[in-house]
A and B are shown apart, each in its own frame.
Chain A
Amino acid sequence: DAGITQSPRHKVTETGTPVTLRCHQTENHRYMYWYRQDPGHGLRLIHYSYGVKDTDKGEVSDGYSVSRSKTEDFLLTLESATSSQTSVYFCAISESRGGAYNEQFFGPGTRLTVL
Chain B
Amino acid sequence: SQQGEEDPQALSIQEGENATMNCSYKTSINNLQWYRQNSGRGLVHLILIRSNEREKHSGRLRVTLDTSKKSSSLLITASRAADTASYFCATDAKDYKLSFGAGTTVTVRA
B-contacting residues of A (Cβ < 8 Å)? Answer: 1, 4, 31, 35, 40-45, 48, 50, 56, 58-59, 90, 92, 97-101, 103-109
Contact = CB atoms under 8 A, between A and B. Distances in A.
B2 A98 contact: no
A56 B94 CA distance: 12
B33 interface: yes
Interface of B: 1-2, 30-31, 33, 40-45, 48, 88, 90-92, 95-103
A69 B33 CA distance: 30
Contact of A48 (B30, B48, B96): B96
22 contacts: A1-B41, A42-B88, A42-B100, A42-B102, A43-B100, A45-B97, A58-B97, A59-B1, A90-B43, A92-B42, A97-B96, A98-B96, A98-B97, A98-B98, A99-B90, A100-B95, A100-B96, A103-B48, A107-B42, A108-B41, A109-B40, A109-B42
